Amino acid sequence: MYMKKLILPILIWLLAINTNAQIAIPCDGHVTAIDVISAIPIEHIPTNFTDDIWGFPELIIDREVFFIHGLGGQGDEAGTVDISWSQASLWSELEYYINSHRPDYADISLDFAALELKGDLEGFDGADDNSILIAHSQGGIVSRRVDQYYVTGELGLEPRTFGGLVTFGSPHQGAMILNNRDDLVAWSGTSCEALTEGPLVEEVESSFFLDLLLSAADLDEFQTSICNYLENGIVPFVFKDYYSGITESYKVGSEQINALNEFVPEIPYVCFYGEETEPILWHTLTHVFPGHEPNNTLTYGMEPFGAGDDNALLEYADEMTNKYYLKYYSYDYLSDMYSELVYGVDLATIFCYMTVLCAVSATNSMNECRAISDAYKTGYDWFTEANTVWQGIIGAGSLVESSNTCYCMDWGPLGDVHPEEYEVEPGEDCITEDDDTDCTTWANYTWEVKASDGVVLVESASECQGQVAAAISRNMLGSNHFSMRNDENTELRLKELFSGLHGEFFATHLR
């Protein structure tokens, strides 16, 4: 899986320093226009299909089915929670005449992983052209490379170990999050600064001794050192899977993913893809949050396919958003109250200025409240903008030029000015034949969001060579990149698959 280890748990941990804080009442203790529309995923309909020419298999007792993990995942040697496909694969074995296996591979490079997986498959006596590979995420790319080895004969003409491939959320057209991984790491640093600024400023300004000892520069240096260590020391280790050699192979536009997409398989493929609902950031990352991994039986119970509809992280994010807003609003209100006392023209101001201590204290309290309010506003803005930033990092969201606005100034004969404003199509310039009129063209942009599973775009996961045409959809609406290994959609798609609805080759008898 792509995001088994993420910086978000660290960021949420940073928020914990503010969880029990109380609002302190006494504060002394026009080039471009952008329209951000609601994030409604742009529909994508897969187009790359082939006729189902593979026949219905005979009854095979204990047909071999191999479940292949993705980036950062693990095979049979790991613990129950860490095995990427544990629940789904064991359920399949109980329900159908199959033997399920979960082989492993290293992520040194795509070819190395494919060679290792190929060798593992050939170690099973029952692996033949009736066997099926069911792969999640990166595992689908590795499996496609193994299939390519068999077709091209690059490593010799060994007998096949599988005759059909099924992928869940595999980035067949590349994963933009890998292209933007440096931006993702950098975001951890700016996120740290945004989320810690409010609690730190509040703690210092509310403490007489800390306020006395620490200047604004000292506080900024302290915060910067912490966040730099997080960004440059901790995060690179957390994200080490993202920088493994294999990930170079399926960035968007990479030579290897482009070459792999030119390869036409000789066996049936089925490519399932998730489509998570907004806000995709919180829905998706719920399942990498400690205790909410898709196969966690303590959270979702011993019965399989329980990982869907978990809003734990979304609810926590909403709670923290409200907390930051309340802090920002409260201190802003107090700052305005002190401002009226300092700059007002009523009797309260007059009486206050009759006492020097009152005037100085009110001014200091006003400045302290304003500093704390601004700091919490930074954190509040982070929460309100985080989902949009995530959309951009995974390649789902982008600014699209929607129109041009013409701003024209018509200079009249008496020196009077007649401004005019109107919109034209994208790329068109303002046209005027009047020598007394000056026009300027400014571009307008709209933030458009493509459908995704929260990590991989639908248009990437749904488009694969050799995919068997079927009247039934491969869309897993409501499933994200991680939950799709063990949610209700997973159960539905596996039942359809083994029933032959996605291609006769995959039909497998119930026990």
In a domain, 445, yes or no: yes
- For residue 192, CA distances in Å to 17, 233, 383 come to 12, 13, 12
Clarify whether residues 131 and 266 are in a common domain.
yes
pLDDT at res. 470: 87
CB 105 within 8 A of CB 120: yes
- For residue 64, CA distances in Å to 67, 95, 289, 356 come to 10, 14, 33, 86
Q: What is the CATH number of the domain that holds 110?
A: 3.40.50.1820
Taking the C-alpha atoms of residue 376 and residue 188, their distance in angstroms, rounded to an integer, is: 18
- For residue 400, CA distances in Å to 126, 406, 429, 490 come to 52, 18, 17, 34
Clarify whether residues 280 and 134 are in a common domain.
yes
Most confident of 12-21, 57-66, 484-493: 484-493
Unique residue bearing structure tokens 């599973």: 453
The model's pLDDT over 404-433, given as tens digits with 9 standing for 90+, comes to 888 887 776 665 666 777 777 777 777 766
Nearest to 280 by CA among 173, 167, 386, 398: 386
In a domain, 312, yes or no: no
Backbone φ and ψ of 419, nearest 5°: -75, 145
In a domain, 346, yes or no: no
Clarify whether residues 278 and 404 are in a common domain.
no
Clarify whether residues 477 and 427 are in a common domain.
no
The model's pLDDT over 81-107, given as tens digits with 9 standing for 90+, comes to 567 899 999 999 999 999 999 999 999
Omega before 265 within 30 of 0, i.e. cis: no
pLDDT score of 32 more than 60: no
Clarify whether residues 160 and 147 are in a common domain.
yes
Clarify whether residues 500 and 404 are in a common domain.
no
Q: Is 94 helix (H, G, I), strand (E, B) or coil?
A: helix
In sign, the C-alpha dihedral spanning 227, 232, 234, 239 is positive
Among 406, 423, 449, the domain boundary falls at: 449
Clarify whether residues 289 and 402 are in a common domain.
no
In a domain, 293, yes or no: yes
pLDDT score of 468 more than 80: yes
In a domain, 469, yes or no: yes
Residue 96 has what DSSP assignment?
B
Nearest to 325 by CA among 388, 381, 385, 386: 381
Clarify whether residues 74 and 167 are in a common domain.
yes
What percentage of the chain has pLDDT greater than the value 70?
A: 86
Please tell me the pTM assigned to this model. Answer: 0.88
Distance from the Cα of residue 35 to its chain's centroid: 22
Q: Look at 176 and 308; give whichever has higher pLDDT.
A: 176
Among 412, 430, 449, the domain boundary falls at: 449
In a domain, 281, yes or no: yes
Taking the C-alpha atoms of residue 276 and residue 256, their distance in angstroms, rounded to an integer, is: 28
Nearest to 91 by CA among 100, 82, 104: 100
Clarify whether residues 264 and 167 are in a common domain.
yes
Taking the C-alpha atoms of residue 228 and residue 150, their distance in angstroms, rounded to an integer, is: 48
| Number of domains observed in the structure of the chain | 2
Task: Provide the residue range defining the domain that includes 401.
Answer: 397-449
pLDDT score of 12 more than 60: no
Nearest to 168 by CA among 486, 433, 398, 396: 486
Clarify whether residues 489 and 407 are in a common domain.
no
Q: Is 505 helix (H, G, I), strand (E, B) or coil?
A: helix
Q: Is 397 exposed, middle or buried (0-12, 13-18, 19+ CB in 10 A)?
A: buried
Clarify whether residues 168 and 277 are in a common domain.
yes
The model's pLDDT over 52-76, given as tens digits with 9 standing for 90+, comes to 999 877 777 889 999 999 998 888 8
In a domain, 117, yes or no: yes
Residue 234 has what DSSP assignment?
I
Clarify whether residues 157 and 259 are in a common domain.
yes
CB 245 within 8 A of CB 108: yes
In a domain, 414, yes or no: yes
Taking the C-alpha atoms of residue 41 and residue 323, their distance in angstroms, rounded to an integer, is: 29
